[in-house]
Amino acid sequence: MSSNALNDGWKKDLSPTILETTSNLSCHGSMLGENSHGMALQLGVVACQGATPFSLVYGMEAVLPVEVEIPSLRMVMDAKVTEAEWCQTRFDQLNMIKEKRLIAMCHGQLYKQRMKKAFAKKVRPRVFREGDVVLKKILTFKPDSRGKWTPNYECPYVVKRAFSGGALILTTIYGEEFTRLVNADVVKKYFA
C-alpha cells in the first residue's frame, strides 16, 4: 500500500467529519462556502496591500479548517448572531468590498513609491562628458570559440556628444564617428 493511498483514505475519513461539524455549527456553516474546508488559502496580510487576497475577493476573512473543528472567538461570535443579522452583516461587507479594494490599491501605490525612493537613494548616476574615454560593451549573441575568455568590452572610444537622456555619440580614437547613438548603459569609463 503506497503512502498516497493512506493519505487518500485519511482524506475520505476526515472530509465527512469536517462537513458534518460545519453543518452542525450554528455559525452558518453552509454559507461559509467551499473555502471553509480542504483548500489552502493565503491568509497573511500582504504588506503592500494591507489586506489578505481572500478578503479582497470575497469580502470577508477566510475560515481555517481548524476553526471549524475548534471554534475560535470569531466563530463563537458568529454563532451568536441570528441568520438575518448575519446576512445583513455579510451584505454590508460585500457593499464595502470596492472601498477595500481601492484602499488596497492606494496602499500598493504608496508601497511602490517607497520602494522607488529607497532604490533611488542608492543609485549613483553615471555622467559622461565630451572628451571622456569609454569602453563599449560587446553585445553579441553568437557563441565565440574563446568561450569565457571572450572580451566583454571593445577598444576605447571618445565621447563626442552626451545627451541628457543617456544617449552618447562616440568616435574612435582616430576620429571615425559612429552612425548610431549608443546608450550610456552599455559603456563604462576607461581609466588608463
- Per-residue tens of pLDDT for the chain, all 192 residues: 555 555 555 555 555 555 554 444 444 444 444 444 444 445 555 666 667 777 777 776 777 777 666 666 666 676 777 888 878 887 888 888 888 888 888 888 999 999 999 999 998 888 899 999 999 998 877 788 888 888 888 889 999 999 988 899 999 988 898 888 999 999 999 987
pTM as predicted: 0.42
Domains of the chain (ranges, CATH numbers): 3-122 (no CATH), 133-189 (2.30.30.140)
Q: Which three cell numbers stand for residue 18?
A: 469536517
List C-alpha distances in Å: 185 to 105, 165, 177. 33, 11, 19
